[in-house]
Structures are given as structure tokens and as C-alpha cells.
Amino acid sequence: MWRSLFLRGSTCLLQVGAPKFPRRRLLSSLLLRHFTHKPIYKSIPALFKLPACGPNGLPVHCRSYKKDAKSIGEFPISPITVTDIKQYLRSKEIPFHDGYSCLHIPSIFVDPSSRKDSFSLFIDKTTGRFLCMNTQVEGSWEDLQDCLEVMQKDEQVVLSPCVLLGYPESEEEEEEKTRELKEVQRIWSSAVPLTDVPEDEAQLIKTMFQITKITNATLKKFGVRLFRPTKSLVFPWFGGPDCSLKGVKLLSAQITDKDKVTYNEATLPKYSVYYNLFGLSLVGRMDTEVVLTGSELDTLAVSQATGLPSVALPRGVSCLPPILLPYLEQFKRKLGLRRCSLVRPGEYRPCPMEALAEGKNLSRIISTSIPAAHKSIVSFKQLREDVYGELLNKEQVAGVKWTRFPELNRILKGHRKGELTVFTGPTGSGKTTFISELALDLSMQGVNTLWGSFEINNVRLAKIMLTQFAMQRLEDNLEQYDYWADMFEELPLYFMTFHGQQNIKTVLETMQHAVYLYDINHVIIDNLQFMMGQESLTVDKFAVQDHIISAFRKFATNSSCHVTLIIHPRKEEDDRELQTASIFGSAKASQEADNVLILQEKKLVTCPGRRSLQVTKNRFDGDVGIFPLDFIKSSLTFTAPVKGKHKFKKPTKTESEDLKGPDAAPKKDEVKKEKVTETTKNKTPAASETTEVK
């Protein structure tokens, strides 16, 4: 029935003056939600098409809704960088504010005495294009440079907006713009508000465009009109300092042989310079969120169903022209993935027009939108400053250095937050004693430490650490106990009251509380095997151990706290050294650990230096190695042997010259002669005694 009405009419247009329209206000929002546009029907051959040319021979630029259509940005990648822009502005002594996507400078097209906003000229950081929000003057970075050079040369304070607005590239371009503007005025004047259309005809038009649920009030609010010659909906574009009519978009419906409808868009001016944020004039500065859609009809549906401010992007949601960024610059935070939520159309979340037609709750659909960015995915752009910080502060990144174990600093470089260290050693080799001194060293440097000793009670552990702190046996010097205890008490050292077998959940809750309350940076667990007793006995013990190690790994990473985990090794023969594979359980412990330390002990040797510390894994920089340790029983401390220290000591220049001098060889001979003489003297008495016996 409506097909004959749809095809009826002429293309005669009348020209009228531009209507008044409320001044466009800029967006001010905390949140953006995107609707991904999805065409209701596929684009198929139409029975009716808009005329290829207007009544004056002016081409009408059309675009069909296609499922595979791709929006192509107009602006190529510019070699200009934000650093170049800033350096140029500083050279011209022009103040600027660093915005989210633009640089703000005082407008050179507005007299300083009449400026309402001192920084109203926006320069895009990516392309260098600029836009004056007061005069709507826009241009390239080269245009702005030319204007600034002219101002400096002529010593002018302000330039007329006509400098760029009234400068056409050619006469043909000027004529084309004039024709386009006249055509826009004629179409708009010929179009009538849908509220003025008879009810039967208006209902027919709504049926054609499937907007029967859109009320007349909504259509009037957005200024939508009907262009009767082609039965097209007209969406206006008002802009500029006087909010004049700058363009229109015509949306036509086409019926197919299968009684399906597809839509075509036509814009004036041409599509490449059509920058209309439809609905922007209705968004106020106090609005807290705005919904971006890919079509004007979706904007009407969202606004009516939810009451939220809604704006239609001129080229769909897949493209945001850089020239429109200044209109979004007044958002409190940058327009980006982290502050956008996405509604991806699907079976339960159709596009806004479909949702409204089906009676679905659009407010609920929007409230269930998902973040456009995933918290577990980042780009190098987000990591760039952190990478530079690590390169700049390599010593701080390496962590806290040990004062008692310089050889450990040489291998591990330091003690770092967020890492998991696995420490093992033979039974009775002194694992707890060594780790207590290691932790004490860090605690003396201000590292807040939490001890979880499940093997020995806290009183005995504190006694060991106090002895290591005083570097002497306090049993023999009780008069000094208060002196050392007072200083030891000032250390940021805390102890968990657990002893024996404990549940991993209880231990983790205690550790989390300590991190929150005492800012703990280092947790020692001595040892893992004592935690496994309370777990389910029906589960494989290796699986239980893997679960516990994973929990500690996650805790260390999420809490930015270093966890040192002591694990007993599996039984090995006394004459064999321990390896990474000697750690009890599966390979989970060594895989999850950032550092693996092994206290080696030669059980068949009783001489000093039978212990050594081996680093078999170092995820920070890959260095591994081993160095000997001497145990001093009086102070319960471990130190590198004095002989080992001299071994790595480099000779001074004077010592080197002495060794290389002519007297170096004779000195060696003298030493040998002295040794021979002493041997002879020792043998002489023995010979005389033998003679006497005979």
C-alpha cells in the first residue's frame, strides 16, 4: 500500500532561511558506552533509489548500510609528533595545557579582552589539526603555524577568522561549497516536521522505517523531519559559532522482492567532510554519561527508552574522525578503552532499534555492558613509562642489598618485592639458622618481615635471631641482654603464632592481614611440609603441595610481597650434592619460584667450609652461582671464608709492580729455601734419637 506513496513526488525544492536551533554545548562526561551498529537487514538491490543528482545537477553523496562496510579515516598518518608541537609552542612563548587528546592554547582568533575561555583552541596531539571552539575555525598544523608566523611578523594580537574561513583553494571549490549549502537549505526548507504530517501518513512513514515505537516528542526533540519528494527522513547538522545549518543526512527506505527493507544514507556536504555528532546539542555539561551509537535511529531509541544522552557518530562506531575529538575533550578523563563500556549486539542484546521494537529493556542492556578494555591485556604504550623507569633506576629495581652476604648480591642483585624464593637444604644443615640471618639482615635495613615458623617455636627462633643480631653468645653476657634486646625490639619484625601443622587458608588470611596492617614486605614460611597435614587426606600429597605453592605464588604477586618458602628435599645419598630436582614434590615448586637457593653440605667432611650456598635459578637476570660459607657457632652466623675473600681480591697497582719486579723470583726462592731448612732441622733430632737407640 505504501509503495505507491513512496515512489510518488517530485524533486522540486524550495529555499528558506536557516531555522534557529539551540546552541551546541560540549560534552562533559565520566563514562562512555558504545553501541556497535548492526544493520537490521542486508543491503540488497533496491526497487527505488535516490536520484543520482539533485535538481541543480549537484551530486548527492550516498552510503548504503552493508554488513561488511568499513569506515576509512580521512586523515593520513602525520609525521608531526606531540613533542614537536610542544617545542614549537614553547619557542613562540605560547602557553598551553596538556589535555587528554588535544593541547589547549589561547585562541588567536578571539580578542584577548573578550575571551570567555582563555584556552579555547584545541590542537590534536596525533594529527596536529586545530579547532577554535569560539569561532569554529579549523585547519591543519601547517595552517596554524602560518597564522602564528603572520601574527609574529606583523606584531598582531589577534587574527580575523576569515583568514582561513574565507580562503578557498580554488574558484571551483568555492562554487561547489556554495551549491552544496544552497542544496542543504532547499532540502531542509522542503522537509516538514513529522508532527505536522497527517496522522495516517506519519504512521505509514514510521512503518516504513520501523520506528513505530518512536514518539513524535522524540522526533521533535531531535529535529527530525520528513522530505516528502523521496519519503526520506532528514537529520540536521547545526554547527559553527552561530549554530547555523551546515548539512543534512537523508535516510531512505527501500523495499525488495522479498518484502524486506534496507536503508541508504545520503549526506550533504559530501561524506568525507560530514562531521555531525547527531544529538550533541542535547547533551549538557552536567550529564555524567553518554551513549555513542552508529546510527541516528539508534540514538532516538536509546534516548527515548533510557533517558540517557545519546550521540550518533557520523561514520558508525568503527570510526571517530580526529576533528571531532575537541568536542569530547571536556570529558574528565581521556576517551579510551579503559573508560568505555561496550554493548555488542547479539541474540539477547539486539541493536537499540530492534530492542525497542521487541519491547526489551534497553536500560538493563546498557547496564550489563562490558568494559571495552580487559584488565589482563595491556599494550607497550601502557608499559613504556614503567620500562623506562626500570632502566633509569636499575639499582632500586634490583632490590635491597644484603650487608652480610655480598656474594649473594653479586648473583641475585638484591631482594625484590613480589617474588617467590624456594630454599632447601639437607636435614640438619642449618636452613632455619641461615634464613633467620638472611631475614635479619633485611629487617635491619627496614624491610618489614613476617616470620611463620611451624617447625620451632617463636621463643627459640627469637633467641637465635637475637644472638645473630648481637654477634655473640648472650648466655655469657647477660648484663648486655637489655641493651641488645632494646635495639632488637625496634626492628620491623613480626611472628605468626602458628606452630605445627596448619591449614593453608588460615595462614594466607593471616599473611594478608599482616600486609594490610603492618605493610609486610617479606614473609618466611618454615616449612611447607608442616602445612600439608591438615589438607584432605584423600587427595594426592603432590597435588596438595602444588596447590599450596600456587597460592603462595599468587599471594606474592598480588600483594607485592616477597615470600621465602623453605622446602625439605627428598632423600639423597650423603655423597651427592642437591640439585633443583632434589626439591620434594613435583616440578611445580621450581617452576613457580623466581629464585631457588640450595644450602649445600658435604656431610663426609668435618673441616671448615663444608657448607656453601648455591643459586640455581634467578629469574631477574639469569645469573647463577655458588659460594662457600663458614658457620660461626658462637654467634650462629654464616660468613664467607676469609681465604675466599682474599681469593677474589684484586691486587693493587703497587703490589702488581712488586710482583713483576726483578726481586720477585728471588723472593720465591728464599721462601723455598726457608721451607727446606725448617724441614732439615725437624729431621735432625729424629736421626740422633735413632742413633742413640741403636
Distance between CA atoms of residues 564 and 440, nearest Å:
13
> Which CATH number does the domain 397-647 belong to among 3.40.50.1370, 3.30.450.90, 3.40.50.300, 3.20.20.70?
3.40.50.300
Beta bridge partners of 130: 123, 139
Please give the torsion angle defined by the CA atoms of residues 546, 547, 552 and 555, in that order, rounded to the nearest 10 degrees. Answer: 140
Q: Which residues contact 491 (CB under 8 A, 6 or more apart)?
A: 440, 443, 444, 469
Distance between CA atoms of residues 100 and 612, nearest Å:
56
From start to end of 215-304, where are the E strands? 225-227, 232-239, 244-255, 261-268, 289-293
Grid cell at residue 356: 525497542
Grid cell at residue 190: 522542503
Distance between CA atoms of residues 513 and 450, nearest Å:
11
Q: How far apart, in Å, are the Cα atoms of 499 and each of 455, 495, 507?
A: 7, 11, 11
- List phi, psi (to 5°) of 588: -60, -40
Helices 504-518 and 541-559: angle between axes, nearest 10 degrees: 10
Grid cell at residue 372: 571495552
Query: Edge-to-edge strands of the sheet including 595-601?
Result: 493-495, 449-453, 522-526, 562-566, 420-424, 595-601, 611-618, 625-632, 637-639
In 399-540, where does DSSP find H-type helix?
Answer: 406-412, 431-443, 458-470, 481-489, 504-518
Grid cell at residue 616: 640455581
pLDDT, position 667: 45
pLDDT, position 660: 42
Grid cell at residue 479: 648484663
In terms of C-beta density within 10 A (0-12 exposed, 13-18 middle, 19 or more buried), how is residue 620 classed? Answer: middle
Chain segment 10-42, per-residue pLDDT in tens? 333 333 333 333 333 333 333 333 333 333 333
Q: What is the DSSP letter of 619?
A: T
CA angle centred on 663, ends 658 and 669, rounded to 5°: 120
Beta bridge partners of 131: 122, 138
Q: What is the DSSP string of 182-208?
A: HHHHHHHHH-EEGGGS-HHHHHHHHHH
Q: Pick out the chain residues at pLDDT < 70.
A: 1-79, 115-117, 163-170, 240-242, 288, 328-341, 344-348, 371-375, 531, 533-539, 604-609, 642-694
Grid cell at residue 95: 602557553
pLDDT, position 345: 66
Sign, CA dihedral 3-4-5-8, equals positive
Q: How far apart, in Å, are the Cα atoms of 125 and each of 81, 190, 244, 327, 529?
A: 7, 41, 28, 14, 58
pLDDT, position 329: 66
pLDDT, position 510: 93
Grid cell at residue 626: 655458588
Distance between CA atoms of residues 628 and 499, nearest Å:
32
Residue 584: what residue type?
F
Distance between CA atoms of residues 353 and 342, nearest Å:
17
Chain segment 575-626, per-residue pLDDT in tens? 788 988 888 887 888 999 999 999 998 876 666 668 899 999 999 999 999 9
pLDDT, position 350: 80
Chain segment 428-458, per-residue pLDDT in tens? 889 999 999 999 999 999 999 999 998 889 9
Distance between CA atoms of residues 236 and 188, nearest Å:
8
Ordered by start, the domain boundaries in the chain are: 2-13+20-73+170-371, 82-165, 397-647, 653-693
Closest CA to 594 of 559, 557, 558, 630: 557
User: Cell 663458614 identifies what position?
Assistant: 630
- First-to-final CA distance of the chain: 147
Q: Name the strand (E) or helix (H) holding 674.
A: helix 664-693
Q: Name the strand (E) or helix (H) holding 146.
A: helix 141-154
Distance between CA atoms of residues 558 and 553, nearest Å:
9
pLDDT, position 150: 85
Distance between CA atoms of residues 608 and 280, nearest Å:
83
Grid cell at residue 77: 598518518
